[in-house]
Structure 1
Amino acid sequence: MKVRFNKSILSHALDTVQRAAQTKITSNTNNGILIRAAEGRISFEANDYTIGIKTSCEAEILETGDVVVAAPQMPGMIKLLPGEEVILETDDAASLCHFRAGSAHYRFPTMSYDDFPQVEEMERVNVCHMACADLQMLNSLIAYAAAMEKNNPVFNGILFEIKGNVFSMSATNTHRLAIREITLPEEATSTGRFIMPSGILNDVCRLLPDEEGAQVEISWAKSHAAFTFGDTYFITNLISGEYPDVHRVVPTRSDVDAKFNLKELSNAIRMVSPISRDINYNTVNFQFSEEGAIISAEDADVGASSVSIPAEVSGRLPLNIVFNCSYIEDILKHSNGETITFHLLANGPMLIEQEEDKSYIYVVTPMRGRQ
C-alpha cells in the first residue's frame, strides 16, 4: 500500500475517526485506525464498540491496500510533519506503516486486519434530515441541562423526539429542564424517541461541517443511532432506559409573572453570584413586589450581596423564592432578545420564556434557602 496525501486533509480525516479509537497508551483494547486504499478512495475507520466512525478523503493512490495502525500518538504526530505532502507506505513483512514528509520519517506498528472491528452501517429505515447548523444550535441550547452525575445514566443523555416534521431535544437533571424543537424541511420516515449520550452528541456536533447548507441525516434503531454528513458516518450506542414525559412537568399556569430587561437581569446576577458561589447549594434569592425585584445572596461567614432591578411584575405578590444561581446563569447565557419573562409558582417550578424564541422551554425548580 502506498498513498500520497495532502497533510491537512490527512490530519482532518485522522482527527475525525480518532474519537472512536482507544487512545490510552497502556490500554490492551486499542483497536487502532483502519486505513484502506481501494477503488480510487481512501477510507478511515475506528470502532471502540460504543461508537464507530467512518470517513474518506482525497489522496493519490500509488498502490492499493489496507493497514490497521494502533498508535494513539499517530494523529498528533502527523500534524508535526514538515511541508504539505505526506507519503504513507506499508511494509507488510515487518508489520510497519511508514509516514514520510521531507526529511521526517515516522514508523508505527500495524495490527492484523482480521482482528479489526469494522463499522457496520444500519439499514436506513428510520430517517430524518436537518441542517447541520440546526443540530449544533439545538445541542448548544439543550446539552448543558443534562445531569453530570453518573448515578442515573438516563439523565446523562439527551432525549430525541421525532414525529412528522417536528424534531425536539430535551435534557434534564431532575432539577431543571430544557426543551427546544424545530420544524424539519421534510417529514421523517417514522416516529422516533430515544436517548443520545450527551458527550457523544457533542463529538458529533464538533465534527459537523460548517459550510452553509450542509445537511446531516439521522437514522435510528432500537439500540443505535447514526449520523451521516459529508463523507462521514458516525454510529453510536443509545442509552437504554425510560426517559420521563418531560412535557408533563412544564407549568401551564403561574402565580407571579415578572418581565425583565435581559441585560439588566444578567448584570444583577453577575453582581450577586460571587457570594452565591461560596454558599452551600449555590443559592440566590428573589424577592418580587409591585416595584420590581430584589436579587440577593447572604451567608454569615462569607458576606452579602443585594441588587434591586426594575421589572414588570404582576400576580399574587409579594413572593420570595430561592433558586440555584448556576441554573439561572446558564439560561441567561443562552438567551437572546431585549427581555425575558419568569412565570413563577409559589410552590412549584418556574417557566422561563424567551422573547424571541417561544419554542425554547426552560423550567427550573426552586430550592430551600434563606428568604
Structure 2
Amino acid sequence: MTFSETTIDQETTSSEKTFLKLVMPRLELVSLIGKIQSTVPSKPAIPILSNILIQAEDGQITLNATDLTVSIKAFASADVKSPGSITLPARRFFQLIRELTTDQIELEETEFGVVFVRAGSSIFKLNAADKEEYPSLPDLSSASAFQVHSPTLKELFMRTSFAVAKEDSRHVLNGVLFQLTENHLTLIGTDGKRLAKINAEMANQPFNGQYIVPLKAIEEITKTLEEEQPAKLFFHEDKMAVEMGSVTIISKLLAGEYPDVSKVIPEKANMTVNLHREELITLLRQVSLFTSEMSHSVRFIFTEGNLELSATSSDVGEGKVSMPVDFTGEQFEIAFNPSFFIDILKHCKDETVTFGITDSFNPGMITDQTTALFVIMPMRLNTN
C-alpha cells in the first residue's frame, strides 16, 4: 500500500452513515498501538489531540495519532464487519487493550457516541469524541520522493541527531538539516557547541533541496525503522514523511535559514593526532568525575608521545590520566566538555579516530574512516 492510497478521508462515501465494527487479534492491536502511542501529547494544545483516530475499511484497521507537528499512522489487517471511523481517548484505550487477556478483541461503535470493547465475556464502554474535530493528515502523494535502505537511514540519523539542540531559541537548531543534491544526501546536526555531519550516496534521488526536520520526528522515525526494510522519504513544501511498511510518519518542517556551518568546520588542522577511541572514552569518564559544575571542562595536554587529561574541582579534588599518542612537537593545551567529546567518540565507527586541531581557541575536528565528521568547540582554559 502506498502513501497516497492510505491518505485519510474522514468523510463517509455513503449517504447513510455506517458504524464501525471489527474483530482482530488482541496482540496485533497491542503492537499497532505501540507504533503510534509516543506521538500522543501528554499536554495537548487542543483536547482532541489526546485522542486517536481509528478507521476501518476493506479488511484493514488504521490508527492515527498527532501532536500537530509529528503525526503517525499505522495499519494492520482486521475482520471489518462494518466500515467506519471513531475517535477514542488514547491512553485509556491503550491501557485497557494491554490489560486484557483474550486472544480476540471486538470494537463496535454505536449511534450514541459510545464504543463497545468486547473481550470474551467482558464488555467495556468508552465514550468517543467527535471525529470531525480530529486534524486531517496532509496528502503528500504529489511530493518528491526517494527510497533509502532502512539500516542506512537509521545510521545517518543516529550519527547526527545526538548533536541537535533540544530547546534552543534558534529553533532551526532543534532539527536535522537535510541537504539533497542529485543522488546525494548530507545530514547535519548542531547545538552550537558540537556538530555532526555525514554524507551518503543515494541512487534514484533526482531532486535538490534543503529541509530542516524536527528532532522529535527524527527520533520517532529512528525507533520505527526496521532492519532490511526499505524506507520511502517524501518532501513537499513545509512537510515531509517517511513510509516504512505499515507505518507512515509525517512531520512539519522547521521554517528558517540553517546557519552556514562551513564557517566552523576547520579547513586545515595545524596538528593531527590519532587516538584510540575506547581508551579515550574510558579516561574521559574517569577524569570527568573531577570537573566542576560550573565549567565541566577537561584539559587536554599534548606532549611528545603523550596525552594527559586533567580536571580540578575545589569541591571534589583533582584527577589526572594519560595515554600514549602519536604527537610530536611542543607542548599544546586545549580544553573541552568531556560529555560532548564522549558523545562524539561513541558515534564514531572505527577503533582509531583522527583529531585535528588548529589552536587552543578554535574548534577541533574528529573523523573516522567513514564519511562522517564531528566538530567540537573548545572551552576556556582555566589558568588555575
TM-score, length of structure 1 as denominator length:
0.91
Q: Deviation per CA, 1:265-303, whole angstroms, max 9, x where unpaired?
A: 122112211112x34221000111113111110123321
**Residues in 2 aligned to 1:26 and 1:50: alpha-carbon distance in whole angstroms:** 11
SS in 1 for 2:81: strand
Query: Secondary structure of 2:295's partner?
Result: helix
Distance 1:23 1:72, change over 3 A: farther
Q: Is 1:287 equivalent to 2:296 in the alignment?
A: no
Query: 1:321 & 1:171 partners in 2: Cα distance?
Result: 24
The whole-number CA distance in structure 1 between the counterparts of 2:382 and 2:47 is: 53
Deviation at 1:120, TM superposition (A): 2.3
Counterpart-to-counterpart distance in 2, 1:96 and 1:243? 48
1:267 counterpart = 2:285 = no
Alignment-mate amino acid for residue 367 of structure 1: M
Q: Output the CA distance in 2 between the equivalents of 1:16 and 1:261.
A: 39
In 2 relative to 1, CA 300–261 (structure 1 residues): closer, same or farther, beyond 3 Å?
same
Q: Give a deviation string over 1:144-183, Cα, whole Å, max 9, x none.
A: 1111333221111111111112112111111211011211
Alignment of 1:311-326 (within 5 A): 311-314=325-328, 317-326=330-339
| Counterpart position of 1:15 | 34
Equivalent residue letter for 1:281: S
- Is 1:233 equivalent to 2:271 in the alignment? no
Q: Which range is displaced more, 279-288 or 106-115? A: 106-115
CA distance in 2, matches of 1:20, 1:221: 21
CA 1:149–1:36 in structure 2 vs 1: closer, same or farther (change >3 Å)? closer
Residue in 2 aligned with 1:141?
159
Identical amino acids, percent of aligned pairs? 26
Task: Give the gaps of 5 or more residues in structure 1.
Answer: none
Q: Which piece of structure 1 moves more, 19-28 or 149-158?
A: 19-28
For the structure 1 residues 309 and 22, does the alpha-carbon distance in structure 2 shift closer, same or farther, using more than 3 Å as the test? closer
Alpha-carbon distance in 2 for matches of 1:49, 1:137: 27
C-alpha offsets along residues 180-233 of structure 1, whole Å, 9 cap, x if unaligned?
12112x23131121111112210122122x242x11111112211111111222
Residues 182-197 of structure 1: matches in 2 within 5 Å? 182-184=200-202, 186-197=203-214
| Counterpart secondary structure, 1:148 | coil
Q: Deviations over 1:11-61 (max 9, x none)?
A: 222232334444449963436222222223222223332223222101112
Distance 1:147 1:26 in 2: 22
Asked if 1:343 corresponds to 2:356, the answer is yes
Distance 1:297 1:52, change over 3 A: same
22-31 or 172-181: bigger deviation = 22-31
Q: How far 1:74 sits from its partner (Å)? A: 1.0
When structure 1 is superposed on structure 2, of 219-228 and 143-152 the one drifting more is 143-152
Runs of 4+ in 1 over 4 A off after TM superposition: 22-27
**Partners of 2:167 and 2:80 in 1: how far apart?**
48
User: Secondary structure at 1:281's aligned position in 2?
Assistant: coil
**SS of the counterpart of 1:282?**
coil
Partner of 2:10: none
Q: What amino acid is aligned across from residue 363 of structure 1 in structure 2?
A: V
Q: Tell me the amino acid that sits aligned with residue 91 of structure 2.
A: P
Contact 1:71/1:108, CA 8 A, preserved across alignment: no
Deviation per residue, 1:310-345 (Å, 9 max, x gap): 00014x522111111111111122223221221111
Amino acid at match of 2:335: V
Within the candidate set 124, 135, 157, 1:106 is matched to 124
How many Å separate the matches in 1 of 2:31 and 2:243?
17
The answer to whether the 8 A contact 2:285-2:338 is kept is no
How far apart are residue 3 of structure 1 and its match? 0.9
* Equivalent residue number for residue 42 of structure 1: 61
Deviation at 1:125, TM superposition (A): 3.4
Question: Is contact 1:34-1:68 (8 Å) kept?
Answer: yes
* Structure 1 contact 287–318 (Cα < 8 Å) conserved: yes
Of 258, 264, 287, 1:249 maps to: 264
SS at match of 1:79: helix
Determine if contact 2:69/2:252 at 8 Å carries over to the other structure: yes
Q: CA 1:123/1:332 → structure 2, altered by over 3 Å: closer, same or farther?
A: same
* Map of 2:137 onto structure 1: 119
Q: TM-score, normalised by structure 2?
A: 0.88
Contact 1:46/1:119 (8 A) holds in 2 = no
Moved more, 64-73 or 52-61: 64-73
SS at match of 2:315: coil
**Equivalent pair of 2:367/2:374 in contact (CA under 8 Å):** yes
Between stretches 102-111 and 227-236, larger displacement belongs to 102-111
* Cα separation, 2, equivalents of 1:177 and 1:261: 21
CA RMSD of aligned residues (A): 2.0
Task: Work out whether 1:158 is the aligned partner of 2:176.
Answer: yes
Aligned residue-pair number: 363
Alpha carbons 1:225, 1:238 under 8 Å: kept: yes
AA of the residue aligned to 2:154: Q
Distance change in 2, residues 1:317/1:187 (3 Å): farther
Q: Give the aligned residue type for 1:344.
A: I
